[in-house]
Amino acid sequence: MKKFTKDIKAFFSLNTLAIVPPYLWLVLVLLLPFILMLKISVSEAVFKIPPYGDIVSIKDHLLNLKFDLDSYYSLFTDTLFLGSYLRSIKMAAIATILCILIGYPMAYYIARSKPRTRNLLLLAVILPFWTSLLLRVYAWIGILRTEGLLNNFLLWLGIIEQPLEMYRTDFAVYIGLVYTYLPFFILPLYTNLLKLDQNLLDAAADLGAKPINVFFSVTLPMSMSGIISGAMLVFIPSVGEYVIPELLGGTNTYMIGRVMWDQFFTNADWPMASAVTVVMIMILLIPLVVFQYYQAKQFKQGRKK
């Protein structure tokens, strides 16, 4: 009995109670909406408000459950949905790779700069967040379209003889994705590089390693957690992006975010839209699980050392 009472007191200790509000918040804003989407996805599409039927009903004092899986069947048999998923994953992956190639040198340079210069460079990275995403994407429309700023500049330099078709193409979507999510990659990687032990780099240099060898043998492996964190912050929202493909993409740039919008608001097919959302969430759980596994592995290795 004393042991039971002691366990109860330990459970309701201040340290335990401190984590209750964050978990309640996660349940409220993540778990409950997902359960609601899951419930709608197995409902029948009907012509009423809201436009889906009940999965639980009571008739003749009996509890009836009615699950309609037609939305999931259509999802995995219709090439429109399958193609949208594959296109979204492909474009998000390419945008993530571009952010890594562009953002790593930038984060490395910022981390190695003097404190005063570093603050100015960080301000330049964060500055776009002070403006609405919609306005920033609209600005790219003025830059990329046929009579836009970039084409006029290239014509003035004599590099091209006629305007290039950049607006309403996949190229424009990639520019929009990289421009929008590049800061999300730079900031966590910068934090990781800033905490890098300079003594390790000095020791490698003292042992005769060239700068390029120091980078690939010390800096890059130790910054891998920052790279993965930044890549997740780019890849996950890019998969479900709606605004950028809608404003910059063409008719062939039909990503999954546009599919969800059309199913929700144009077709009013909430079960189909919810099924699309549930499957997208399940797909995005894969990189999160991989990231969590890598983080746990790194933590165990750190404890062993």
Residue 5 confidence class, pLDDT cut points 50, 70, 90: low
Query: 3-state SS string over the chain?
Result: CHHHHHHHHHHCCHHHHCCHHHHHHHHHHHHHHHHHHHHHHCCCECCCCCCECCCEEEECCEEEECCCCHHHHHHHHCHHHHHHHHHHHHHHHHHHHHHHHHHHHHHHHHHHCCHHHHHHHHHHHHHHHHCCHHHHHHHHHHHHCCCCHHHHHHHHHCCCCCCCCCCCCHHHHHHHHHHHHHHHHHHHHHHHHHCCCHHHHHHHHHCCCCHHHHHHHHHHHHCHHHHHHHHHHHHHHHHCCCHHHHHHCCCCCCCHHHHHHHHHHHCCCHHHHHHHHHHHHHHHHHHHHHHHHHHHHHHHHHHHC
Residue 107 has what pLDDT? 94
- pLDDT tens, 218-254? 888 888 888 988 999 999 999 989 999 999 988 778 8
Mean pLDDT of 117-130: 90
Mean pLDDT of 96-118: 93
Q: Which of 117-121, 122-126, 258-262, 294-298 has the lowest mean pLDDT?
A: 294-298
Residue 244 has what pLDDT? 92
- pLDDT tens, 160-179? 888 888 898 899 999 999 99
Residue 7 has what pLDDT? 57
Mean pLDDT of 282-302: 75
Q: Is the pLDDT of residue 115 over 90?
A: no
